[in-house]
Structure 1
Amino acid sequence: MPKIFLFVVFLSQFGVAQIKVLDSLTNYPVSYATISFGNGQGIFADDEGEFFFSKKLYPDIDSLYISALGYKDLNVSTKTLPQQLLMQPQADQLDEVLIGTKLNRKFKKEILKPYLDDDYYNCWLPTIESEIAVYFPKTSTKDQKLSSITFPIALESKDWKKRNRSNSEKKKFSTLFKVQFYSNNKGLPHKTLTYQTIVFRATEKDGDSHQLNVEDYDIYVPKAGFYVSIQVMGYSDKSGKLLPNKKYKEIKSKNGVVKIPTNFRPLLPFTNEIKTKNTYIKRVFISGNEWVKFDKGNGFKSSLLDKNLFNYGVGITFKTYKDD
């Protein structure tokens, strides 16, 4: 509560306006819309389609680029920014996915276990401008339906000296993540497999992984396999409500102000136990930015690559159906 109160005071001092993103046909909120600033930075709307913005808070931003699954992109000037932004629905064809089909055939449950690690130095530090996707091939010619996804997480000990003890008290956090599923096109993530917005809240109580049940989304594995992605959205309250705050720090340097993205807990452990390189990275606030394999020589400077930690070891559970 003290943090929320201080932020409310901060907003009032800067005259920050609350903006709401709505569906132009239904006037329903567009949940978790992406608000890009056009300079590689941005923020997210919350579950009610709301976000905070003002020229005093973001003095160098003159345009906002709003995007969301199932809607046409929206470009608005910050000079005359209205309190409501209307987005037009755009139903693109989904790629190689069965939606809403119930299979009553017998099936075999299969599990691909996650790769866990609690070493701080083997972890990706989540920032909201980066989306991480992991590829999974289709393992059978038969129908396969996703049941759950297990995301490895690493916790930080409150006392650094006791970090190697399993019973050490962990730093608390409440963080919201967004999950998406993509088809495979020539070895890169392509079209989304569902337009439903999927989010989950992670806390230190999850332990070394968070299991997300996706059974009700009826996602079937395409012939060319699929990608599952994770993207941190920011800290949340206990109910999972996204908290409004700046997602980067501004540091003065000789060459001007440098914007450094904020790191969020939990950390995401990478592994060297997977033979193939299946992890891809995308910067979400750059329009038209392409997916790039997380590998040496692809423009990344990372201590993870220096240690040959190429993959985020996501686990999955799926059903492989028997023939009639």
Structure 2
Amino acid sequence: MNYKFAPIYFLLFFVSISFSQTKIKDAQSSYPVSYATVSFNNGNGLFANDEGEFVFTKKLYPDIDTLYISALGYKDLTVATSNLPNTILMDTETNALDEVLITAKIDRKFKEEKVKPYLDDDYYHCWLPTIESEIAVYFSNPDPALKKITKVLFPITLESKDWEKRKRSNADKKPFSTLFKVNFYNNDNGFPGKEIINRTIVFRVTEKDGDQFILDVSDEDIFIPESGVFVSLQVLGYTDDKGKLLSNKKYKEIKSNDGSIIKIPTNFRPLLPFTDKIPQSRTFVKRVFINGNQWTRFEKGSNFQSTLLQSGLNNYGIGLTYNVYKD
């Protein structure tokens, strides 16, 4: 994607942003709360950037009177949009991670194990990411041995610039630069439960990463709970060439037959390939800004009307590399 702007347009964009940015900060430290979720409670919302900044004006969102703000490790916050302050302060949630496994540095011998990702370059086998959706994949824990996740392998599908050449491995790919957020949850009766790390992890993906992005989390001390772990992925939006989250237009506005305006979430690249090669249904999806932020298993009979499910493609095939420590 081309992020070059003519100088005059860039100036207008900068001026507009400078008068409409709101910053979210930690109430105790005054540090920015990076990538906080800002929900409109109508099925739509947006995310703050790494500096805790987001853009909200009544001109952009005339029908929104309240913001619902949440972030990992902080108490949820409700803020009126009338006279929206330049700075919003959030208080930490002291008991949010009371079940986190805390382990000292491990020097024991280990064996490296790997769950291979499921790759696919077929456009029609793919999920089109939107900022309203988070995808979580379950990994069981087969035995009591201590296991530390070191890498997560996210399959992605690249699109050829020339549709007629899409099946050629050497075809030029459409460029993109997209920021994702990853999270790790414990198993709560078969559904994603509490977060098991107290840090927001984001990473940028471009077409140069090929058909999988390998995220190294070996420094994070993420241990697989006895009942298994959920690994989730959520798109935050496009970035500039330095990885800074842009104030992308998150929704397309379409006029319905009765004259009302319907907001349709924008799709972001890259595409995420789904597979029918996994026997169990272990992929879960939630609409972050609607349905009470509740997880739903991605399978036939659920609330999702998806061509993927109609084709039997009900799992996103994330891969893992982890260390299994010996006694």
Q: TM-score, normalised by structure 2?
A: 0.95
Is structure 2 residue 183 aligned with structure 1 residue 197?
no
Partner-residue secondary structure (3-state), 2:293 = coil
Structure 1 residue 14 displacement after superposition: 8.8
Equivalent residue number for residue 2 of structure 1: 4
Is structure 2 residue 147 aligned with structure 1 residue 144?
yes
Is structure 2 residue 102 aligned with structure 1 residue 99?
yes
CA contact (8 A) 2:73 2:96 kept: no
Equivalent residue number for residue 236 of structure 1: 239
Partner-residue secondary structure (3-state), 1:304 = helix
Residue 3 to residue 253, structure 1, CA distance change in 2 (3 Å): farther
Q: Percent identity?
A: 59
Q: Which deviates more, 89-98 or 184-193? A: 89-98
Structure 1 residue 178 displacement after superposition: 0.1
* Deviation per residue, 1:116-167 (Å, 9 max, x gap): 0000000000000000000000122110000000000000000000000000
Aligned counterparts of 2:142 and 2:311: Cα–Cα separation in 1? 30
Aligned counterparts of 1:79 and 1:15: Cα–Cα separation in 2? 18
Aligned-pair Cα RMSD in Å: 1.6
Aligned residue pairs total 323
Aligned counterparts of 1:13 and 1:22: Cα–Cα separation in 2? 22
Equivalent residue number for residue 73 of structure 2: 70
Q: TM-score, normalised by structure 1?
A: 0.96
Q: Which runs of 5+ in 2 are unaligned?
A: none
Is structure 2 residue 297 aligned with structure 1 residue 293?
yes
Equivalent residue number for residue 117 of structure 1: 120
Is structure 2 residue 64 aligned with structure 1 residue 61?
yes
CA contact (8 A) 1:177 1:201 kept: yes
CA contact (8 A) 1:15 1:56 kept: no
CA contact (8 A) 2:127 2:272 kept: yes
* Deviation per residue, 1:292-323 (Å, 9 max, x gap): 00011111111100100010000000000000
Structure 1 residue 175 displacement after superposition: 0.1
CA contact (8 A) 2:73 2:97 kept: no
Structure 1 residue 97 displacement after superposition: 3.9
Equivalent residue number for residue 257 of structure 1: 261
Residue 258 to residue 10, structure 1, CA distance change in 2 (3 Å): farther
Equivalent residue number for residue 181 of structure 1: 184
Equivalent residue number for residue 281 of structure 2: 277
* Deviation per residue, 1:58-107 (Å, 9 max, x gap): 11111111100111111111111000000011122536542352111100
Aligned counterparts of 1:95 and 1:272: Cα–Cα separation in 2? 36
